Structure 1
Amino acid sequence: CVKDNAKLYRADIRVAMASFEGNALIGYNTIRTFESTPYGQMVVKDAAVIVNNDFHANGDRYIDVNPLTFTDADKIRDNHIYVTITKAVGSAENGIFELRGKDYFCGEPPCEPGNVEVEAVPAFDLSTWTIDRLVLQADAQLTLANRFGFQADYDGDAEVLYVRELILGPNSILDIGANRLYYESLDADSTADIISTPLLGLSLGRN
């Protein structure tokens, strides 16, 4: 737990469980989570500031905030997120990735679900949660989910995912889950697949 007025700079941190609280300042670190790291165990709250860090996450294991109370855009900014997915196709617990971004490319009503190439995705902040690189390793599977309201005006049903670099390994499957994905570049093996299946029966909790 890093709290009060503590400062943590320029460290290489391997996280099993962490909480950044009070007026803690976390900057210019490399922060890593792994498949063994439980979901929801890297919590940011109070007035903690998380800026200019590189997060290397296995799955949806990076900054956890309460979007209803943590709304100051200056507190979490200029971070870089790199996500690797290793869960195998057909495994008992496929990877689930929660969408957090506000759709800046579509107005009201929201656009139809789809994966869309754009010239440039927006920079990382509390309204975009842009991922710098998303990699599905060989035989991995990931499903995008929209269960929680990270953007106040969306009520948890229209957030999107922004990815700068999307890489799909051999025999991997990316299921956009009837959601909307924006990416700058796509490097997909010929055996990889992008599908869209509504996420049913998983609306009440994180996998």
Structure 2
Amino acid sequence: MKKWYTVMMVLALALVLTACGGNTSNQEESGSENDSTMENEGSDEGATDEGTKEEEASQSVMVTMKDAEGNEVGTAEITEENKGVTINLQASDLPEGEHGFHIHETGKCEAPDFKSAGGHFNPADVSHGTESEDGPHAGDMENLEVSADGMVEKEIMNEKVTLAEGEDNSLLKEGGTALVIHAGADDMESQPSGDAGDRIACGVIEK
């Protein structure tokens, strides 16, 4: 009897140990699954954040440029970059030579003089021109060179402005802003606008 009793006790102990081992294995598998799920969730969140940043970086608006007679003379695509915006201008039917090219403070292009666009976009309240001690305006940009056939293609990087709404230097501020091409070249120092002459083409910057 004692021998059978001992055998039964050993078998019972073996069953208990086997059950415990199974539970531990299940817990480990469950823990691994939970860890994997958390990693996937973290990966998804990271992907979402990255996607949002890429979407913000790729934001762009298209501007239609018109002359004093209301004729369309070109387009400018403005694209948000990590630092500022790029402006890709393609225009035609313009006078040959060098022309001032600025962002103006109001999103209105009323022909024929386009004075409705106001002055240069200047949220920092500084002086005009890259050659001035207290400048330039956020809307000051390099001159355009129009060829003999009246055409110009130009990409300009402006690090002083953004398309992000709500920012002081946003081109999409309330009331909007505008792109303006002038009759003459900007000398980059005369106040308040570089002595660039009349406004010969204008386009409203809007969503």
Work out which structure has the larger RCO, using CA pairs closer than 8 Å and 6 or more positions apart in sequence: 2
TM-score with structure 2 setting the length: 0.28
TM-score with structure 1 setting the length: 0.28
Q: Counting helix residues as a fraction of each chain, which structure ranks higher?
A: 2
Larger Cα Rg: Structure 1 or Structure 2?
Answer: 2
Q: Counting strand residues as a fraction of each chain, which structure ranks higher?
A: 1
